[in-house]
Amino acid sequence: MKKKILVVDDEKDFCHFVKKALEATEEFKVTTANEGEDGIKKAKELLPDLIILDVMMPKMGGYEVAEALKSSQETRDIPIIFLTAVVTEREVKDEGYLLEGKRFIAKPVKIRELVDKIGAALSK
């Protein structure tokens, strides 16, 4: 059975790229949202296995979205991987995949690395 992934990022082209690349592995069914509030709504409707969440978005940033999801009974246990252009890939690797207890991947994203980190997050 394919794992359900929700990608929340304000960059529509990025969402399209990640959706196509992840679905090409035939391991995932991907849904996208382009703003925080829509991401929360879709998370509650779909109850995905994992959420990939951009940190920097207009209106409602990724941390605010994560806080709303973690405060809801139905979505609080869904693992989240944060995407960020604020730190570099090297910083993420040097500091570790988990920063302040949160999972991060630096943009630009390498799909193989994303698939590996999704697998690691889902196996916990």
**Exposed/middle/buried for residue 59 (C-beta within 10 Å: 0-12, 13-18, 19+):** exposed
Tens-of-pLDDT digits for all 124 residues of the chain? 999 999 999 999 999 999 999 999 999 999 999 999 999 999 999 999 999 999 888 999 888 999 999 999 999 999 999 887 765 445 445 444 444 556 778 778 888 888 998 998 898 7
In terms of residue numbers, what domain contains 68?
3-122
Q: In total, how many domains does the chain have? A: 1
| First-residue to last-residue Cα distance in the chain | 18
Tell me the CATH number at 96. Answer: 3.40.50.2300
Is the pTM value of this prediction over 0.85? Answer: yes
Q: Where are the beta strands (DSSP E) in 70-124?
A: 80-84, 98-99, 102-106
